[in-house]
Amino acid sequence: MNKVEAIEDVLGVEALGSGVGLSLPGGATPEHVVAPRDAEECARLMRWATSSGIGVLPVGVGARSRPFESEGRWVALSTERMDGIETYEAADLTLTAAAGTPMADVAAAMRPHKQWAPFDPPRVGEGTIGGFVSVADSGPLWAGYGEVRNHVLGATIVTGDGRILRLGGRVVKNVAGFDLLKLVVGGRGSFGVVTSVCIRAFPEPIEDRVLVLASASLPELAGPALQVATAPIVPVSSVIVDRLPTSDTPGLVIRLHGSRVTVDADQRRLEAHLGLKLATIDNRATFAAEVSNRGASDDIVIRVSTLPSLLGGLLGVVDGAGASSVGLDAYGARGRVSFSESEGSQAARFLDAASALGATVAVESAPHTSPLWARADEKTSHEAELMDGLRRAFDPEGVLWPTRS
């Protein structure tokens, strides 16, 4: 029996997916794309892969896949057939969806109820909810709403050896003891294939106001950004970008949410605290989306974070790096700096300079053959030992491709 026949025997002929829309790094080509319908089919596939010695790469649309050694026999596990809203309790502010459900569909389901998922990482609407939870990138709105892992209430995952684990639930307090769900959120598929997710919804703000402070250079924004962090009001986000969509100059972008009266009062208090007037943006939805994509739109994307007290030094390093695009969350002193493929040497120098400053840096994306990937996941021996131990508990035979990278 060949592999196609084996897959058909395990899951049925309809589980052999097309792979249309998959974007795997370096042009990696799986022997087959397999698309289970639900957790039970996924578990059967994983048990077959374990017994057959075949690797499995879980993907949504593949947008966040990282380079990996593709030697040997392996298949891509697409979540394209695990699609749809399973339950949406608008009164309870909870939504459960299959892992392959596009985030755009999640937003569309919430919109008639004037609810939303307040997460704004780059291009969040282009991926699936399973991929979003696996990466757990909150975006700058974490300052006002909290991190993604605080709002994932439950998830169903299938481990590398085919066990189905239903973690958490549909209420905020749903765990006693060690919370395995927190391990899965942000685990990038290392501990299992996410097949279903329950997230918390939020009421849409009555007023969403975008305020801007333009500047001649990035380092000049450090002072105002730190002042915003000590203001008597708390904006839902504060972002530094190298180019504002409206002026092509560096700027600080601040968002205020609440009732109109509250937001008016917050803006007055913030401007009094800063001692200057802030410009108000009219086309706020488009403007905010463009700001959230800064730093993540080029061939090479580097994530960087440091202590807020070192924000000025980091902005100085960024300003001299010759980057194509910059987007930094001023509250968390973290964000993305991107370079074109031809600027690989500049990206390497930026990694060195930011590391020398004491910042934490990581390569998020780069051409598959780039030497930058050698620095992507530098771990101490203790960190590597801990991660390997956790992975073996969920994937004893190392079937899932993240455990092989």
pLDDT one-digit tens code per residue, 129-187 = 999 999 888 899 999 999 999 999 999 999 999 999 999 876 655 555 457 898 889 88
Higher pLDDT, 152 or 366: 152
User: Which pLDDT band, with edges at 50, 70 and 90, does 189 fall under?
Assistant: confident
Residue 66 has pLDDT above 60, yes or no: no
pLDDT number for residue 8: 62
Residue 60 has pLDDT above 80, yes or no: no
**Helical (H) or strand (E) element with 240:** strand 237-241
Q: Report yes or no: 384 and 391 within 8 Å, Cβ to Cβ.
A: no
Sort 337 into a burial class: Cβ within 10 Å, 0-12 / 13-18 / 19+: buried
Domains and CATH numbers, the chain: 3-81+395-404 (3.30.43.10), 85-203 (3.30.465.10), 207-283 (3.30.70), 300-366 (3.30.70)
Rounded Cα distance, 237 and 285, in Å: 14
Rounded Cα distance, 246 and 364, in Å: 27
User: Which pLDDT band, with edges at 50, 70 and 90, does 113 fall under?
Assistant: very high
pLDDT number for residue 232: 94
pLDDT digits (tens, 9 = 90+) for 67-99: 555 556 778 888 888 999 999 999 999 999 999
Task: Look up the pTM and report it.
Answer: 0.86
* Mean model confidence pLDDT for the chain: 86
Residue 390 has pLDDT above 90, yes or no: no
Highest mean pLDDT among 251-265, 283-297, 372-386: 251-265
pLDDT digits (tens, 9 = 90+) for 28-50: 666 678 889 999 999 999 998 88
User: Which pLDDT band, with edges at 50, 70 and 90, does 123 fall under?
Assistant: confident
Q: Report yes or no: 127 and 61 within 8 Å, Cβ to Cβ.
A: yes
Number of alpha carbons in the 13 Å side-chain half-sphere of residue 367: 10
pLDDT digits (tens, 9 = 90+) for 237-265: 999 999 998 888 999 999 999 999 999 99
Which residues have CB under 8 Å from 324's CB, separation 6+? Answer: 297, 298, 338, 339, 340, 343
Give the distance, in angstroms, between the CA of residue 314 and the centroid of all CA atoms in the same chain: 22
Q: Give the type of residue at 331.
A: Y
Rounded Cα distance, 322 and 340, in Å: 10
